[in-house]
Amino acid sequence: MTAGGRTRTVVGGVLRPRAGSAPTDGRPAPSAAGPVRGALRRILPQAVPFLARRRPALLRLGGWSLLETAQTFLGGYAVAAALDRGFLTGRPGVGLVWLAVAAAAVVAGGTATNRVFHHLADLVEPLRDGLVRKVVTSALSAAVAGRERHAGHAAVSRLTHQTEAARDGFAGLVMVTRSFVFTAAGVVVGLAALAPALLLIVLPPLAAGLVLFAAALRPMATRQRDFLRTDEELAARLGADVAGLRDIVACGAEARTSDAAGELIDAQTRAARALARWAAVRTLALGLAGQAPVVLLLAAAPWLLDGGVTAGELLGALTYLTQALLPALNTLMTGLGAAGTRLLVILDRLAGNGGPSAAGPATARGSCSATGSATRSRTGSATDSCTSPATASCTGSATASATASSAGAAPCTAKDSEAAGACPDRPRADPRPRPQGAFTAARRPSQPSTPPTESGEAAPSLELRSLSFAYGPGAMPVVDGLDLSVRPGEHMAVVGPSGIGKSTLFALIAGLLVPARGELLIGGRPVHRPDGDPYAVRRALIPQEAYVFGGTLRDNLLYMCPDGAPAAAVESAVRAVGLDRVAHALGGLDARIDPAALSQGERQLVALARVYLAPARLVLLDEATCHLDPAAEARAERAFADRPGTLLVIAHRLSSARRADRVLVLDGVAATAGRHEELLERSETYRDLVGHWRPGAG
Ligand SMILES: Nc1ncnc2c1ncn2[C@@H]1O[C@H](COP(=O)(O)OP(=O)(O)OP(=O)(O)O)[C@@H](O)[C@H]1O
């Protein structure tokens, strides 16, 4: 009877980022003040010895870079000579020879660059190896010490993406800095060789631009870091929101979630603007250092020519500025501004000093703290473990994972006077067809509180009067004019061919769906009322995919009992549904459980025990025992049948139907209810179903 690839899920649990909480990996958050300076202070003491140990590699790099200086020098000098000594003096051959010298210098420079790259590896690969060693060592130590239960992903990210980024960043930084230093040296020497007067024009703006750039570097790095931080915070927040969408919808926390994300988006916009302002300062510095000398040189051309500078020397100087200095400056300023900061941040983080995200939102796991509610997914893959960080915060009580109310699920159960209003703004159920995987949201308009005195009261009756429902305005009704009466305390099995509408019917009874027509009465009171569902917190739906979250087994069991329950009641619920063996194997009720490590059957037992313990008095088992073996299923079902309350079960085994007081057979839009023996006589569909249930399967 398991619908192919379909799951019904009940989810709940909201993970609230705790204000000021530490990052998931437990590293301390860095102080906001002077983050870049702080990072520099932390990194430099490690960087200096690292570089000192690699002096031979640095010397080789420097040696080959000198060839690049020579290329820069010849680039301008040869152009000047070609003009002054060749073309302008009527000796084009000489001019061409000088141009050939410049071309040879370019080739030699290319070879030098090639060698530089080779020797760069001697510098950057040890950095990467060292970082990898550091990350692995610290992750292993933390894991062995049990400090980082969930740090696996972070360690993998540090090991792969971040170490690679650090290596690339470092390589880029070495290249741009080296390139600028050696190019600038070539330019200065070249200008001095051509005509020292040229230096008077070029050096002042170059120096001013470099000073401006140096002054802007730190604020720019801080802004860059802020931008990275807000970007990471936003990514973390949105990732968490996506992972916790079902919870957010179920809790009606869309507005709050969207506000929280909106604040982060605004923060990121502000950070981007601030960064852009400093990027403008950087452009100004570039203009001052790189372009102003060109303009000044052109403007001063008459004076220079009068002072004895030749046309060739002027052209050589312009060649230096436009072909060598400007590109090198551009690369330096871009590289240092962005890549340098990035490198600093990553190195700081890899060194274990926290990073931008350290101050970001806590993606706490396992701190399910608020409301759960029944939602429904038609994907085939929901896992329903509270292992993904979600962000909505429904303040207040822990609630029922599967408790549903009319007009939508009523996630807030238990101490209802408190629970009511704990999850405001719950969305209304929408009976329109939903795409695969969409959530049918629980809802409850101004949830009235059920007086605590009603808690644990007698089993309710259930009555459906001409109930109809379709998944869309033009869709065929799945439930059409259904009448049904279930006595208080009755145990009814619901059977029918796949896709006939059993789960839809349960969702209607649970309040996850709103009927198009008809009435649903529980305990004689209509539940779809403008003032709210009076039976919201007294019915629970357990779907096929059980919701289990990371925490202790006891936390999981008390999830629908926010006021707690006596230890004896918990133990007796565990025994009643047959969870005792699993509980023992897991290390007792107070052992922490990893939802992913539980089998589906074990998860179902946890969900069953949780609802058994809950105050719900109308329990709907929608293939909630499908992963249990027949004996375990029988034990769990008997436990619910013996428990005070009314029980409806979607049966997928003959034994399950036979255990029930009555069976409801859904057949198309028709429905027949009766005892097993009666139905064998009266209902062809039932006979067919019974015939198809595998002998020995129950
Ligand atoms: N959210 C939805 N949107 C549109 N159609 C839906 C939705 N959920 C169910 N249906 C359709 O409603 C019909 C009844 O589905 P339902 O899941 O209630 O049947 P079922 O009897 O529980 O099936 P199974 O025994 O296979 O689980 C099916 O045709 C199904 O495709």
pLDDT digits (tens, 9 = 90+) for 27-65: 333 433 355 566 777 777 888 888 889 899 899 999 999
Residues 352 and 386 in one domain: no
- Answer whether residue 128 shows pLDDT above 80: yes
Instruction: Give the pLDDT confidence of 531-553 residue by residue, as tens digits.
Output: 767 676 688 999 988 888 888 99
pLDDT of residue 669: 56
Atom index in ligand 1 nearest the CA of residue 440 equals 1
pLDDT of residue 237: 87
Instruction: Give the pLDDT confidence of 308-322 residue by residue, as tens digits.
Output: 999 999 999 999 999
Question: Residues of 446-484 as b/e, b for ≥16 C-beta within 10 angstroms?
Answer: ebbbbeeebbeeebbbbbbbebbbbbeeeeebbbbebeb
Q: Both tokens of residue 550?
A: 């990371």
- Answer whether residue 555 shows pLDDT above 50: yes
Domain containing residue 615: CATH number:
3.40.50.300
Atom index in ligand 1 nearest the CA of residue 506 equals 18
Residues 69 and 190 in one domain: yes
Nearest CA to ligand 1 atom 25: 498
pLDDT (mean) for 111-136: 87
Evaluate whether residue 29 is within a structural domain: no
| Ligand 1 centroid, distance to 471 Cα (angstroms) | 9
Evaluate whether residue 613 is within a structural domain: yes
Q: Both tokens of residue 140?
A: 């292993």
Domain containing residue 75: CATH number:
1.20.1560.10
Q: Is 344 in contact with 221 (CB distance < 8 Å)?
A: yes
Nearest CA to ligand 1 atom 23: 499
- Answer whether residue 222 shows pLDDT above 60: yes
Nearest CA to ligand 1 atom 6: 471
Lowest-confidence region among 321-335, 351-365, 587-601: 351-365
Nearest CA to ligand 1 atom 18: 501
Q: Among residues of the chain, what percentage have pLDDT more than 90?
A: 39
Residues 330 and 403 in one domain: no
Mutation probe of ligand 1 site: the residue of 500, 505, 622 with most atoms within 8 A of C-beta: 500
Cα of 507 vs its chain's centroid, Å: 30
Q: Kindly indicate the confidence band of residue 370, based on its pLDDT and cuts at 50, 70 and 90.
A: very low
| Ligand 1 centroid, distance to 672 Cα (angstroms) | 19
Mutation probe of ligand 1 site: the residue of 6, 498, 502, 666 with most atoms within 8 A of C-beta: 502
Nearest CA to ligand 1 atom 16: 501
Instruction: Give the pLDDT confidence of 449-502 residue by residue, as tens digits.
Output: 333 333 446 778 899 999 999 988 778 889 989 999 999 999 999 998 888 999
3-state secondary structure of 370: coil
pLDDT of residue 96: 96
Mutation probe of ligand 1 site: the residue of 249, 440, 503 with most atoms within 8 A of C-beta: 503
Range of the domain at 567: 372-692
| Ligand 1 centroid, distance to 505 Cα (angstroms) | 9
pLDDT (mean) for 651-659: 85
- Answer whether residue 143 shows pLDDT above 80: no
Q: Kindly indicate the confidence band of residue 526, based on its pLDDT and cuts at 50, 70 and 90.
A: confident
Q: Which residue, among 139, 419, 368, 372, has the nearest Cα to 253 in the 3D structure?
A: 372
| Ligand 1 centroid, distance to 503 Cα (angstroms) | 7
pLDDT (mean) for 199-205: 95
Q: Both tokens of residue 690?
A: 């019974």
Comparing 188 with 249, the larger pLDDT belongs to 188
Evaluate whether residue 41 is within a structural domain: no
Q: Is 543 in contact with 531 (CB distance < 8 Å)?
A: no
Residues 440 and 310 in one domain: no
Overall domain count for the chain = 2
Nearest CA to ligand 1 atom 28: 499
Instruction: Answer with the one of 359, 388, 405 that is the final residue of a domain.
Output: 359
Nearest CA to ligand 1 atom 29: 499
Nearest CA to ligand 1 atom 3: 433
Instruction: Give the pLDDT confidence of 618-649 residue by residue, as tens digits.
Output: 999 999 998 999 899 999 999 999 999 999 99
186: part of which helix (H) or strand (E)?
helix 163-194
| Ligand 1 centroid, distance to 498 Cα (angstroms) | 8
Mutation probe of ligand 1 site: the residue of 436, 469, 478, 622 with most atoms within 8 A of C-beta: 478
Instruction: Answer with the one of 331, 359, 387 that is the final residue of a domain.
Output: 359
Instruction: Answer with the one of 324, 359, 394 that is the final residue of a domain.
Output: 359
| Ligand 1 centroid, distance to 33 Cα (angstroms) | 57
3-state secondary structure 655-666: HHHHHCCEEEEE
Evaluate whether residue 526 is within a structural domain: yes
In this structure, which amino acid lies at residue 86?
Answer: G
| Ligand 1 centroid, distance to 622 Cα (angstroms) | 12
Residues 408 and 283 in one domain: no
3-state secondary structure of 301: helix
Mutation probe of ligand 1 site: the residue of 430, 434, 504 with most atoms within 8 A of C-beta: 504
Atom index in ligand 1 nearest the CA of residue 652 equals 25
Atom index in ligand 1 nearest the CA of residue 4 equals 26
Atom index in ligand 1 nearest the CA of residue 438 equals 1
Atom index in ligand 1 nearest the CA of residue 6 equals 27
| Ligand 1 centroid, distance to 560 Cα (angstroms) | 27
Nearest CA to ligand 1 atom 10: 471
Atom index in ligand 1 nearest the CA of residue 501 equals 18
Q: Kindly indicate the confidence band of residue 220, based on its pLDDT and cuts at 50, 70 and 90.
A: confident
| Ligand 1 centroid, distance to 396 Cα (angstroms) | 34
Evaluate whether residue 9 is within a structural domain: no
Q: Both tokens of residue 18?
A: 């705790």
Residues 489 and 617 in one domain: yes
- Answer whether residue 295 shows pLDDT above 50: yes
- Answer whether residue 593 shows pLDDT above 60: yes
- Answer whether residue 291 shows pLDDT above 90: yes
- Answer whether residue 652 shows pLDDT above 50: yes
pLDDT of residue 153: 59
Compute φ and ψ for 527, nearest 5 degrees: -95, -25
pLDDT of residue 145: 66
- Answer whether residue 286 shows pLDDT above 80: yes
Evaluate whether residue 3 is within a structural domain: no
Nearest CA to ligand 1 atom 9: 504
Q: Kindly indicate the confidence band of residue 239, based on its pLDDT and cuts at 50, 70 and 90.
A: confident
Residues 435 and 482 in one domain: yes
Atom index in ligand 1 nearest the CA of residue 507 equals 18
Atom index in ligand 1 nearest the CA of residue 666 equals 21
Q: Kindly indicate the confidence band of residue 584, based on its pLDDT and cuts at 50, 70 and 90.
A: very high
Atom index in ligand 1 nearest the CA of residue 1 equals 25
pLDDT of residue 251: 65
What is the spatial distance between Cα 593 and Cα 84, in angstroms, rounded to a whole number?
Answer: 84
| Ligand 1 centroid, distance to 502 Cα (angstroms) | 8
Residues 201 and 129 in one domain: yes
Q: Is 65 in contact with 185 (CB distance < 8 Å)?
A: no
CB-based pocket (< 6 A), ligand 1: 1, 3, 378, 433-434, 471, 478, 496, 498-504
Nearest CA to ligand 1 atom 11: 499
pLDDT (mean) for 590-618: 92
What does the CA dihedral 634, 637, 642, 643 come to, rounded to 10 degrees? 150
pLDDT of residue 582: 93
Q: Kindly indicate the confidence band of residue 113, based on its pLDDT and cuts at 50, 70 and 90.
A: confident
- pLDDT averaged over every residue in the chain: 76
Q: Which residue, among 233, 306, 218, has the nearest Cα to 268 in the 3D structure?
A: 233
- Answer whether residue 396 shows pLDDT above 70: no
Evaluate whether residue 632 is within a structural domain: yes
Cα of 601 vs its chain's centroid, Å: 29
In this structure, which amino acid lies at residue 519?
Answer: E
Mutation probe of ligand 1 site: the residue of 9, 471, 476 with most atoms within 8 A of C-beta: 471
Q: Which residue, among 572, 556, 633, 628, has the nearest Cα to 599 in the 3D structure?
A: 628
Residues 471 and 581 in one domain: yes
Residues contacting 334, CB < 8 A, separation 6+ = 176, 282
What are the percentages of helix, strand and coil residues in the chain, rounded to 5? 55, 10, 30
206: part of which helix (H) or strand (E)?
helix 196-243
Residues 163 and 304 in one domain: yes
Q: How far is CA 423 from CA 308, 415, 534, 610, 616, in A?
A: 85, 13, 16, 21, 19
Across 543-605, where does the E strand assignment appear? 551-552, 592-593
Residues 298 and 380 in one domain: no
Evaluate whether residue 408 is within a structural domain: yes
| Ligand 1 centroid, distance to 617 Cα (angstroms) | 26
| Ligand 1 centroid, distance to 341 Cα (angstroms) | 54
Task: Compute the radius of gyration of the chain from its Cα atoms.
Answer: 37
What is the spatial distance between Cα 144 and Cα 142, in angstroms, rounded to a whole number?
Answer: 5
Nearest CA to ligand 1 atom 31: 499
- The question of ipTM being above 0.85 is answered as yes
Compute φ and ψ for 192, nearest 5 degrees: -65, -40
| Ligand 1 centroid, distance to 671 Cα (angstroms) | 16
| Ligand 1 centroid, distance to 664 Cα (angstroms) | 17
Nearest CA to ligand 1 atom 30: 499
pLDDT of residue 475: 83
| Ligand 1 centroid, distance to 501 Cα (angstroms) | 5
* Bridge partners, 663 (sequence order): 493, 674
Residues 519 and 388 in one domain: yes
Nearest CA to ligand 1 atom 8: 504
pLDDT of residue 147: 57
